[in-house]
Amino acid sequence: MPTFRHGKNTVVLAKQYNISEYLTSVTASNSVETPETTTFSSSDRSYIAGHTEGTVSFEGLFDGTTNGVTVGATADGIDKILSDALGDSTNTVMTVSNDGGAFGRRAILLDAVETSYEVTSPLTDVIAISGGANANDGLEYGVWLTYNTAYTTATNGTAVDNSASSANGSVANLHVTTNTRSTAVTVKVQHSTDNSTWVDLITFASVSATTLTSERKTTTGTVNRYVRVQVTPTAGTGSITLSVAFSRR
Amino acid sequence: MARYRVLTGLDYPPNKRAEIGDIVEDLPAQSVKWLLADGHIEDADKPKKVVAEEPAPTPAKKAVEFKPDAKDGDKDGLVQDATIHERPVEEK
């Protein structure tokens, strides 16, 4: 029996922002160029797989709130976030989950280079935004190791079982969307063969007190069968809310 | 009891943590095999693998003009030292 999902639970994280609440539509597309290799004496056309290309396009509703400018604002709205990202030399760590934001749900990871951003003002409707991005290195399909979870103490996440190890490395996206910690926090992805002893696979840069951030890290080589996230706040107060998506290559 | 040197930071039951360089002897028996195979630990009682240092590269000799009447200024028995034309002093 298939398990269908409603689109309302789709989540989109870009850098340290959860921009889901601004968007009404998101499309993640992956394709591969297939140069033709048909030659004389062939009866059928033949092709060979070439480069893959991933893109994301989105539509949503305009919010011009600007932190530090708009009175009472504590965070930027979608217009500031997306207009800043356009042309930015630093790519955007982006994770899209049509499957919804929850542990183990499918997630699409990308190192996004924003290619367009439009704001449309209709005479009789809500101001809308739309845009798109190319995926540097393509789209990577993985799962959430943790989604929008608040941590106050050292925590080992639940293991994701891939049923076998893989040999081609991995990629992980970290999004820290809320942070009131008074001290730094270490976030790692660990892997294991036996779901008992865990070895560090990815260690993200230490997240400083109250800092909102995002980071994308890759590995090469073996990734063992089980994978989990480990969050370790140093002694202090407050909480940190973060999401980590992980994909094997 | 076997002792192992940790090469990759790891957590193991019950709630223990070992950092790179630590020597541990209480790793779960079922984990030791794959940790060794994957290179995350090594036998601490065996000497560390010493990587032989490569010999320092010989500095390239300078390409200069040949001087038939070069003098041995530093009295080391050679003329045009450290050049492509370095040679013993000719006895006259």
> ipTM of the predicted structure?
0.82
- Cβ–Cβ below 8 Å for A196 and B31: yes
Q: Give contacts of A221 with chain B, Cβ < 8 Å.
A: none
Among A142, A143, A153, A169, CA closest to A230: A153
pLDDT of residue B51: 59
- Cβ–Cβ below 8 Å for B10 and A230: no
- How is residue A239 written in tokens? 């909480």
- Does the structure show a pLDDT above 90 at A19? yes
Nearest residue of chain A to residue B40 (CA atoms):
A199
Print burial letters for A60-89: b (CB count within 10 Å at least 16), e (below 16). bebbebeeeeeeeeeebbbbbbbbebeeee
CA A208 to chain B, closest CA, distance in angstroms equals 21
Contact of B40 with chain A, judged by CB distance below 8 Å, is answered with: yes
Contact of B8 with chain A, judged by CB distance below 8 Å, is answered with: yes
Confidence of residue B48 (pLDDT cuts 50, 70, 90): low
Instruction: List pLDDT tens digits, range A141-152.
Output: 999 999 999 999
Tally of CB atoms within 10 A around B69: 6
Percent with pLDDT over 70 in chain A:
100
CA B51 to chain A, closest CA, distance in angstroms equals 23
Q: How far apart are CA B58 and CA A16, in angstroms?
A: 52
pLDDT of residue B62: 78
- Cβ–Cβ below 8 Å for B9 and A199: yes
- Does the structure show a pLDDT above 70 at B35? yes
Instruction: List pLDDT tens digits, range A79-123.
Output: 999 999 999 999 999 999 999 999 999 999 999 999 999 999 999
- For residue A177, give the amino acid letter: T
Cα distances (angstroms) measured from residue A200 to each of A96, B48, B54:
25, 22, 32
- Does the structure show a pLDDT above 80 at B7? yes
